[in-house]
Structure 1
Amino acid sequence: MSTTPANDDARPKGRVNISDQDLEAYVADRLGAGRRLEVEGFLACNPDLAARVMTERHRRGRRQGGFQAGLLRPSWGRVAAAGVAACVMSAAVGWHAAAQPPVTAHWREADGDAAPRYVEDALESRLAARVRAVMVSQTDTPVLDAAEVERALKVRIPRLPEGWRVVDAQIYPSDDGPALNVIVTTALGGRLHLFVVKANASVSASPVLARNGRDAVAYWERGASAYVLLADSPGVDLLQEARTLARSG
């Protein structure tokens, strides 16, 4: 896998100390962009802890009440003792300066309507993909057998536009059943995540943009399939790329 950061300026400099309070604040979406990047870099180097964090964020987004105090602490002493400065430095791979916020229920379209819940699952799959990207034992799967995926997941995989290239394709769990996350590069060099899952809402066949702060996703549905497109590199015209993909069938 590549070890070249998407943005050299995004690398945490020197030793980064991550506390229980930082992890709890990350789950609760209370960190600023810079500190959030440092926490994400640390999690990318500690997959077991990252899995627990993702699980807690997933639960928190779907229940009333706050963070379950102490959930992460049993693992913290072990990972802290290992010394993670070098790991955090390298974990900036794929995590650009405008690091994405934790999954929340605050994704809104321009008219104020809430985004469908599978947007949250798409964001979680992107985080999991970023953790995989820095794990030597997790290899990329740059071959996508659309027919096989369609048979297994009962979804339709759109044909990628000319010049787009599959970097990795993995199946992830979601509230609506198994879903596909495909990492692609576009003809212009942009890096995107395409999340495909069975539709559970009535959404336009034309891509719609939703925002949470400065972050954005585009989503649309066709038949029984729902699609979410997320940028993994800065400067991408997400809505335009989503329209190109939707038109390709």
Structure 2
Amino acid sequence: MHHTHTHKRIPSREHHDWNIVERIAIVDNQEPLVAVPNESRLKQEPIYFKNQVPHAINLCAARASVIEKLREATTQLPEHLGIVVLDAWRSREVQQALQDQIGDVIKQTYPHLSADEQKAMLKQFVAPVGPDFVSPHLTGGSVDVTLFDLNTGAYLDMGSDFDEPTDKSFTTAYENQPEHVAHANRRTLYHAMLSVGFTNITSEWWHYDYGNQLWAHYSGRDYAVYGAAEQL
């Protein structure tokens, strides 16, 4: 059992600058995209398809090594928990649709912010879209994950909704609230994922990377091993 994880803090980190991240070299190792399996401790639920996001596909797929690392991460969890993948590889079309949707949510939720402030907030929660920009999910190296209880199938309370554009979504949001169930749950997920080589972005407790430019940035690598994976 690996309960020691829950005692370790999630470190605070600077939020990345996309302009720096996108300059990191990519040497694509040409690993194929593979569907996330449905096993006892690792499952997929394609949430964007379920929520009828335009162009979303009814499948979560990631690079082969990412699938292996997810399996490995499940072995680092308490025995009654598993990992569910909500989204992984994502086309440019879906990325644009998400930008539009979450941009609208931010406009409605934060009407007092200027257009520039709203744009800056959107950048924290959704990677930019551009013809030459390799967004993390386009590589098949990003996974959006949460924990579920093997006995009930229920997702654990992580203290904010997936894709919720608020401060509560920042990975360390509950670090100083040990009485909240999300405090331990986020630590459990974070340490299991980092122990097998994933990196996390500061603004999203659910988002983990391996092999792509964000991973290279957060882990201090010289180059990424996954570039754009155009289609399944």
Tell me if both proteins adopt one fold, taking TM over 0.5 as the criterion: no
- Greater RCO (CA < 8 Å, at least 6 residues apart): 2
TM-score (norm 2): 0.32
